[in-house]
Amino acid sequence: MTHVIDETIDRLLTRINALSLPGPGYTRPSYSPLESQAHAIVAEEAEALGLEVTRDAGMNLFARLPGRDRAAPPLYIGSHVDTVPFGGAYDGAAGVAGAMALVAAFVKSGETPPVDIVVTVTRAEESVWFPVSYIGSRAALGRLKPEEMEAVRCDTGRTLADHMRDEGADPEAVLRGPGLAPAQFIELHIEQGPVLFDADEPFAIVKGVRGGLRYRTARIEGTWAHSGGAPRETRADAVFALADLVTGLDRVWGEVLAGGQDLAVTFGRVDAATEEHAFAKVPGLCDFCLDLRSDDVAVLERMDAELKAQIAAIEAARGVRFALGAQSRSQPSPLSAALGDRLAEAAAPLGHAPRRILSGGGHDAAAFAQAGWDSVMVFLRNWDGSHNPAEGMDPADLGQAVRMVHAAFADRQAPR
């Protein structure tokens, strides 16, 4: 079984990551031909194992291995294959490769799982392309909203509905629903942080996914002036105004953490480098985005109020004007403790005692949890961060996690 799992992981990752726009790193946009080609690779591999492959109205892919009890709620397991621009080799793709390795282990051993196992490859998980969270999984669950179909992709300016139709999806059918019935979902995913790497632990069980409050297109409007001629008291400097906001929110961030609450604050894009900006000019314009994340809605609300209070003070002091633009949100999502316990119990005989950890990033598992599923994640040790070309993962760690899931869902009534 070990050979089958490891070989499947290596082959799938190699094949999927051969599909990318020019680097550095890997770029497979959401609802693009490259994403569709990656789905086709998974379908080909699944059909070679004898699995039944289907696609829903959102063009999510499902490859089903029959279990002993066909009437029982199945186990869905998988992730996504789209990436952020210039992303890494493992965010999403590792979970898909791990899911395929799990079913390959059952098929090659001749063992029938207790319930159906459904390899699940979602579309459009990375919200960098469209300002909508968990597009593919929410489409599968019948939870997308009509107005979200009009969201435009950042690189093309065309709507989500247009791009869905390009790849064979039916937006109207997605909105009609009803979506998948509640079952179980497991997502294998790199951690996207240093905790497991620093602790020298191969994997962990995720207990919850942070929610997010985001302003993606914020702007500060000041006054252009000569850098040598404008006195300090007359300036309306957009960059100094942003610096005030950054340092102010950083101070509050520290206070929140010191109070034992969860929070992450990120100014992920700062743009004061248009052609209008120059060495000898006081900057009259600065664009930025702000990403607030927490496992507590009350903390997000507190930070939104703090943001607006600080902006009012900065505008009065600096003579600038802030325009935050549209706000987008995702809700904090506790994950299934019972399913996490089942995995942890299966890990113990294999020599592992996985810690419980919080996910700072949003993931499809959160969408399934919000729809009433027993949903859980397994984080894999990662180095050099995530969403960048240097993203690291040892495939052996993924193999160990797959063996844990196999042990948790092996048919205990089958002969050993």
Task: Note down pLDDT in tens along the chain; length 416 residues.
Answer: 789 999 999 999 999 999 999 999 999 999 999 999 999 999 999 999 999 999 999 999 999 999 999 999 999 999 999 999 999 999 999 999 999 999 999 999 999 999 999 999 999 999 999 989 899 999 999 999 999 999 999 999 999 999 999 999 999 999 999 999 999 999 999 998 899 999 999 999 999 999 999 999 999 999 999 999 999 999 999 999 999 999 999 999 999 999 999 999 999 999 999 999 999 999 999 999 999 999 999 999 999 999 999 999 999 999 999 999 999 888 899 999 999 999 999 999 999 999 999 998 889 999 999 999 999 999 999 999 899 999 999 999 999 999 999 999 996 543 33
- Do residues 292 and 238 make contact, with C-beta atoms less than 8 angstroms apart? no
Kindly give, in sequence order, each residue whose CB lies less than 8 Å from that of residue 227, ignoring residues fewer than 6 positions away. 279, 280, 281, 282
| Residue found by looking up tokens 């000898």 in the block | 280
Structure tokens at 116: 């159906």
pLDDT score of 239 = 98
Output the DSSP codes for 26-39. B---TTSHHHHHHH
Structure tokens at 175: 């909105």
For residue 177, count other CB atoms closer than 10 A to its CB. 13
Query: Apex CA 96: angle with CA 58 and CA 2, to 5°?
Result: 155
Query: How many Å is the maximal CA-CA distance in the chain?
Result: 86
Q: Would you report the helix, strand and coil content of the chain in percent, each value rounded to 5?
A: 40, 25, 40
Beta strands at 327-330 and 211-221: parallel, antiparallel or unpaired? antiparallel
User: What are the distances in angstroms from CA 273 to CA 226, 284, 323?
Assistant: 17, 11, 18
pLDDT score of 411 = 67
Question: What amino acid occupies position 29?
Answer: P
Q: Which of 152, 204, 137 is nearest to 367 (CA)?
A: 137
Tell me the pLDDT tens digit for each residue of 295-352.
Answer: 999 999 999 999 999 999 999 999 999 999 999 888 899 999 999 999 999 999 999 9
Please state, in angstroms and rounded to a whole number, the distance separating the CA atoms of residues 308 and 258.
22
Query: Apex CA 33: angle with CA 27 and CA 36, to 5°?
Result: 95
